[in-house]
């Protein structure tokens, strides 16, 4: 129709440990009809298969609109990432080490902007743009699911860090390592993620084998299930208290599939923050559920283009001693 303004769409791509997802997202945060696609990933998938899946899913989304309407591609990925090199080396996908995702996505949209960030920082950006942390200048957003991830907004700007890996809250250590234990054993992710919480409950004698069963048994009052859920929420709360103490946060938004394991999971986290924080200012941080219904990673990837004003101006430095493809 004459006079109609074409929408400004961004190809948003999210690379995670279990799936890659893509969609076209407009400047209001709406996902274009028929543009949402996904493919399976995983730790044992071959590098070539992972690369093919990522490119196939992105191409499928692009086919849902006139390419002239697409102004760029925003990429969120599990980390570590290397913003200087435009590569990703997801911890849970060892076959994808040093994968040149920015160049590959740029090839789909020659001449258009291509911006890469850690998936957790994309989630923080999405919550700040459209979700539960709107209006806050100092916030953190988290996901508790198969893994634990997060991102930060400080002074109203997304915090990416020197290489792009700021916000890796799942890998901070919040307990004292036992002699001989690996560093991974004391991380928040090892203590609080869904699979690790199920593993811990089974070690205590619980007979279920999934987060869904844990939720059912917890709702029925099973003491082992309740203890496992509380252990996860307490670990998250202690981590939130530590970050809030360091950065003086206003609000923390928490999403992810495992948060649904209990109706009071967010309340348990908030209680743990109050109990473990040393100072009143850290204890006062608000803990709220995500407002994005699981769409945070894709919306945040789109915001890398639509809300580039929040990214900061300093260019990233290359990640030292980056691994190379084997």
- The C-alpha atoms of residue 187 and residue 189 are separated, in whole angstroms, by 5
* Low-confidence winner among 31-45, 177-191, 226-240 (lowest mean pLDDT): 177-191
Examine the pLDDT at 284 and tell me if it is beyond 70.
yes
In this prediction, residue 126 carries a pLDDT of: 97
In this prediction, residue 185 carries a pLDDT of: 74
Domain 9-118+306-310 homologous superfamily, CATH: ATPase, nucleotide binding domain (3.30.420.40)
Phi, psi angles (nearest 5°) of residue 281: -65, -35
At 65, is the pLDDT very low, low, confident or very high (cuts 50, 70, 90)? confident
Q: Cβ distance 119 to 167 under 8 Å?
A: no
Classify the C-alpha dihedral 215-269-124-116 as positive or negative. negative
pLDDT digits 0-9 by tens, 72-93? 999 999 999 999 999 999 988 9
Mean pLDDT of 42-53: 94
- The C-alpha atoms of residue 215 and residue 188 are separated, in whole angstroms, by 20
pTM, entire model = 0.89
In this prediction, residue 242 carries a pLDDT of: 96
- The C-alpha atoms of residue 212 and residue 214 are separated, in whole angstroms, by 5
In this prediction, residue 18 carries a pLDDT of: 87
In this prediction, residue 175 carries a pLDDT of: 67
More confidently predicted of 322 and 195: 195
CATH of domain 132-289: 3.30.420.40
Query: Any idea where the domains of the chain sit in the sequence?
Result: 9-118+306-310, 132-289
In this prediction, residue 68 carries a pLDDT of: 78
Examine the pLDDT at 253 and tell me if it is beyond 80.
yes
* CB neighbour list of residue 278: distance below 8 Å, 6 or more residues apart: 245
183: three-class secondary structure by DSSP: helix
Examine the pLDDT at 287 and tell me if it is beyond 70.
yes
323: three-class secondary structure by DSSP: coil
At 323, is the pLDDT very low, low, confident or very high (cuts 50, 70, 90)? very low
Q: Mean pLDDT across the chain, nearest whole number?
A: 91
Examine the pLDDT at 182 and tell me if it is beyond 50.
yes
- The C-alpha atoms of residue 294 and residue 181 are separated, in whole angstroms, by 34
At 325, is the pLDDT very low, low, confident or very high (cuts 50, 70, 90)? very low
Mean pLDDT of 11-40: 95
């Amino acid at each position: 129709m004459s006079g109609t303004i074409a929408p400004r769409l961004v190809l948003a791509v999210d690379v995670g440990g279990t799936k890659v997802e893509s969609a076209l997202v407009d400047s209001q945060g709406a996902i274009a009809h028929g543009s949402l696609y996904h493919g399976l990933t995983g730790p044992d998938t071959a590098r070539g298969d992972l690369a093919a899946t990522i490119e196939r899913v992105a191409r499928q989304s692009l086919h849902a609109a006139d390419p002239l309407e697409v102004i760029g591609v925003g990429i969120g990925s599990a980390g570590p990432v290397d913003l200087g090199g435009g590569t990703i080396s997801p911890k849970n996908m060892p076959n994808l080490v040093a994968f040149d995702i920015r160049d590959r996505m740029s090839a789909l949209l020659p001449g258009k902007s291509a911006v890469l960030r850690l998936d957790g920082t994309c989630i923080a950006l999405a919550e700040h743009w459209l979700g539960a942390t709107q209006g806050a200048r100092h916030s953190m957003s988290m996901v508790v699911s198969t893994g634990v991830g997060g991102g930060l907004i400080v002074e109203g700007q997304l915090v990416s860090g020197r290489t792009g890996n700021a916000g890796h809250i799942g890998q901070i250590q919040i307990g004292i390592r036992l002699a001989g234990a690996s560093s991974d054993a004391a991380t928040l992710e090892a203590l609080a993620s869904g699979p690790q919480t199920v593993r811990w409950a089974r070690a205590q004698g619980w007979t279920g084998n999934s987060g869904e069963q844990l939720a059912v048994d917890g709702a029925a009052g099973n003491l082992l299930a309740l203890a496992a859920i509380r252990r996860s929420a307490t670990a998250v709360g202690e981590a939130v208290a530590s970050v809030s103490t360091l950065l003086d946060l206003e609000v923390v938004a928490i999403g992810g599939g495992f948060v649904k394991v209990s109706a009071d999971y967010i309340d348990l986290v908030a209680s743990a923050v109050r109990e473990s924080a040393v100072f009143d200012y850290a204890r006062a941080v608000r803990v709220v559920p995500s407002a994005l219904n699981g769409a945070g990673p894709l919306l945040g990837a789109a915001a890398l283009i639509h809300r580039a004003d929040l990214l900061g101006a300093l260019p990233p430095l290359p990640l030292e001693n980056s691994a190379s493809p084997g």
